[in-house]
């Protein structure tokens, strides 16, 4: 039995493969094909969606975790796909390199984070997939293919590929020289901060905020690059801030709210008012990532940046009607050109809503799902969503191009599962139709 991090998704595959080399990946794909089974690859299981759930063969990529080559002069790093971001960050630091941006969790596998469009925050910075220069795949017939910039839309499809094009075995990333960040967390009045939102985003390398439903306050995090020497917090200070307050205290508040839902508005206002200012100065990857021990379910939407405030206020109104004790998170990114990136073609604001484990999440998340579509929102592929291919297709200008890439790389639909059936449509029939039409206005051919 396989389960994801939150425990909200699970499956009992017919076969589980744990390859330690690309040759073993080829053999695993061959066995699945010979048995007529569909196949999915999984990394750390940190997605909240059912992207890795399969009734066929599940390939666990944890053992594909080596840095294969690194050139500090050019910043090009070739790395196996199953490496965890935490290990990759440490390996890059040893070589004087870093990823230019990261999310706030580093437990994911590299390939899984890229496949679902994972991002950090920073109005001038795109998501993690924008740092990919090459993708090495094992295809359904056991052949291997390396996609580069010369492959055009095939690479743009594979950078956020949802695991639907093949098994990613290695990637080449464009990294930057290692850098440090000065991070300031501070409590603020929400309305005032929203009135200054563009200035706050544009005036910082990285800016984000959290706000609890029912509370008029927010917590902002502003990260700026600095040449100053690192001043890492002591182990005791880190434990208080990152484990006691961000995990144990948050978990205790949510357990109390789960037992007494009527107390949630009071608890949320108290949580928003008890936060104090905090400052850190450390290596970038140590500042970006924090440990998450409290379990929850999450939905995240990418909306055009100009809708950030209205979309946030709508989320707050919806969640105030439900027993939700987690804050809403607001982050930002530049546009990018990966075909299925939620930030494709537009500066983006990301709104993440969370529901504590054990609290019914379908009702509030379905309301958020419906509301964010009205703001031209696109759901994060690794988070909860109830949309189907028929609803998703109009949200992506290059949807049909992804279908053609899928038809070319996986014409038989070997790398499919219920998630791709729902979110992308049937693989072989859809791909053949799109390839035959050959136009980006062929979206009407996508089946729900």
Per-residue model confidence as pLDDT tens digits over 150-206: 999 999 999 999 999 999 999 999 999 999 999 999 999 999 999 999 999 999 999
> How high is the pLDDT of residue 245?
84
* Integer Cα distance of 409 and 343 in angstroms: 24
Is the pLDDT confidence value at 444 over 70? no
Is the pLDDT confidence value at 442 over 70? no
Residue 175 lies in a domain: no
Q: Please provide the average confidence, as pLDDT, over all residues in the chain.
A: 94
Residue 119 lies in a domain: no
> How high is the pLDDT of residue 251?
94
For 39, phi and psi rounded to 5 degrees?
Answer: -140, 140
Burial of 69 (0-12, 13-18, 19+ CB in 10 A): exposed
Give the pair of three-digit tokens for residue 448: 């729900």
**How many C-beta atoms surround the C-beta of residue 258 within 10 A?**
15
| Cα dist from 60 to 1, 18, 24, 42, 82, whole Å | 13, 5, 12, 5, 8
> How high is the pLDDT of residue 86?
98
Residue 158 lies in a domain: no
Q: Which pLDDT band holds residue 426 (cuts at 50, 70, 90)?
A: confident
Q: Which domain holds residue 277?
A: 180-377
Do 53 and 185 reside in the same domain of the chain?
Answer: no
> How high is the pLDDT of residue 432?
42
Residue 325 lies in a domain: yes
* Integer Cα distance of 273 and 245 in angstroms: 13
Is the pLDDT confidence value at 137 over 90? yes
Is the pLDDT confidence value at 438 over 70? no
> How high is the pLDDT of residue 142?
96
What's the distance, CA 321 to chain centroid?
27
Q: Residue-wise over 171-184: b if at least 16 C-beta within 10 A, else e?
A: bbbebeebebbbbe
Give the pair of three-digit tokens for residue 237: 């200070």
Residue 352 lies in a domain: yes
| Residue-wise pLDDT tens digits, 328-383 | 999 999 999 999 999 999 999 999 999 999 999 999 999 999 999 999 999 999 99
Do 68 and 78 meet the contact criterion of CB atoms below 8 Å apart?
A: yes
| Residue-wise pLDDT tens digits, 383-408 | 999 999 999 999 999 999 999 999 99
> How high is the pLDDT of residue 244?
87
Sequence-ordered strand ranges (E) for 129-201: 132-138, 144-147, 167-174, 176-177, 180-189
Lowest mean pLDDT among 28-37, 270-279, 303-312, 403-412: 270-279
> How high is the pLDDT of residue 446?
33
Residue 389 lies in a domain: no
Mean pLDDT of 7-22: 97
3-class secondary structure, 37: coil
* Integer Cα distance of 285 and 296 in angstroms: 24
> How high is the pLDDT of residue 368?
98
Tell me the CATH number at 6: 3.30.43.10
Domain C-terminal end among 324, 343, 377:
377
Q: Which pLDDT band holds residue 431 (cuts at 50, 70, 90)?
A: very low
Q: Residue-wise over 15-45: b if at least 16 C-beta within 10 A, else e?
A: eebebeebebbbebbeebbeeebbbbbbbbb
- Residues 412/415/418/421 CA torsion (nearest 10 deg): -50
> How high is the pLDDT of residue 237?
84
| Residue-wise pLDDT tens digits, 199-238 | 999 999 999 999 999 999 999 999 999 999 999 888 888 8
Do 365 and 219 reside in the same domain of the chain?
Answer: yes
Domain C-terminal end among 316, 342, 377:
377
Residue 128 lies in a domain: no
- Residues 312, 316, 317, 318: is their CA dihedral positive or negative? positive
**Residue % of the chain over a pLDDT of 70:** 95
Is the pLDDT confidence value at 320 over 70? yes
Give the pair of three-digit tokens for residue 326: 């987690």
Do 317 and 267 meet the contact criterion of CB atoms below 8 Å apart?
A: no
Tell me the CATH number at 186: 3.40.462.10
Residue 24 lies in a domain: yes
Domain count, the chain: 2
Nearest CA among 21, 6, 38, 14 for reference residue 412: 38
Domain C-terminal end among 377, 406, 430:
377
Q: Taking phi first (over 0 means left), then psi (-120 to 50 degrees means alpha), and beta for anything else, what does residue 416 get?
A: beta
Do 336 and 196 reside in the same domain of the chain?
Answer: yes
């Amino acid at each position: 039995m396989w389960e994801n991090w939150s425990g909200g998704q699970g499956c009992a595959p017919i076969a589980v493969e744990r390859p330690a080399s690309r040759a073993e990946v080829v053999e695993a794909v061959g066995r699945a094909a010979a048995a007529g089974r569909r196949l999915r690859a999984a990394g750390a299981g940190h997605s909240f969606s059912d992207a890795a759930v399969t009734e066929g063969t599940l390939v666990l990529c944890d053992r594909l975790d080596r840095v294969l080559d690194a050139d500090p002069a050019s910043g090009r790093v070739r790395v196996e796909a199953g490496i965890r971001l935490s290990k990759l960050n440490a390996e890059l630091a040893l070589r004087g390199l870093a990823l230019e941006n990261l999310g706030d969790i580093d437990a994911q596998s590299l390939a899984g984070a890229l496949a679902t469009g994972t991002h950090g925050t920073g109005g001038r910075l795109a998501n993690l997939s924008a740092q990919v220069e090459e993708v090495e795949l094992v295809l359904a017939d056991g052949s291997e293919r390396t996609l580069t910039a010369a492959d055009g839309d095939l690479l743009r499809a594979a950078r956020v590929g949802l695991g639907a094009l093949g098994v990613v075995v290695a990637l080449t990333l464009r990294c930057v020289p290692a850098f440090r960040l000065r991070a300031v967390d501070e409590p603020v009045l929400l309305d005032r901060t929203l009135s200054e939102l563009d200035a706050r985003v544009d005036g910082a390398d990285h800016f984000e905020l959290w706000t609890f439903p029912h509370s008029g306050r927010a917590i902002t995090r502003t990260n700026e690059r600095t040449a100053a020497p690192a001043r890492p917090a002591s182990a005791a200070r880190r434990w208080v801030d990152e484990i006691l307050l961000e995990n144990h205290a948050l978990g205790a508040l949510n357990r109390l709210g789960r037992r007494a839902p009527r107390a949630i508005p009071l608890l949320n206002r108290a949580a928003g008012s008890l936060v104090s200012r905090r400052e850190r100065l450390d290596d970038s990857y140590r500042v970006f990532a924090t440990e998450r021990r409290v379990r929850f379910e999450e939905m995240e939407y990418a909306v055009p940046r100009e809708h950030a405030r209205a979309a946030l206020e709508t989320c707050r109104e919806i969640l105030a009607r439900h027993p939700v004790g987690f804050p809403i998170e607001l982050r930002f990114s530049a546009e990018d050109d990966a075909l299925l990136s939620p930030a494709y073609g537009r500066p983006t604001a990301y709104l993440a809503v969370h529901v504590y484990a054990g609290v019914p999440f379908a009702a509030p998340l379905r309301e958020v799902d419906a509301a964010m579509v009205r703001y031209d929102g696109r759901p994060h592929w690794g988070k909860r969503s109830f949309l189907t291919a028929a609803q998703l297709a109009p949200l992506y200008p290059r949807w049909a191009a992804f279908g053609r890439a899928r038809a070319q790389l996986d014409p038989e639909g070997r790398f499919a599962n219920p998630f791709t059936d729902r979110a992308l449509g049937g693989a072989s029939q859809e791909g053949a139709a799109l390839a035959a039409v050959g136009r980006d206005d062929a979206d009407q051919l996508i089946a729900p």
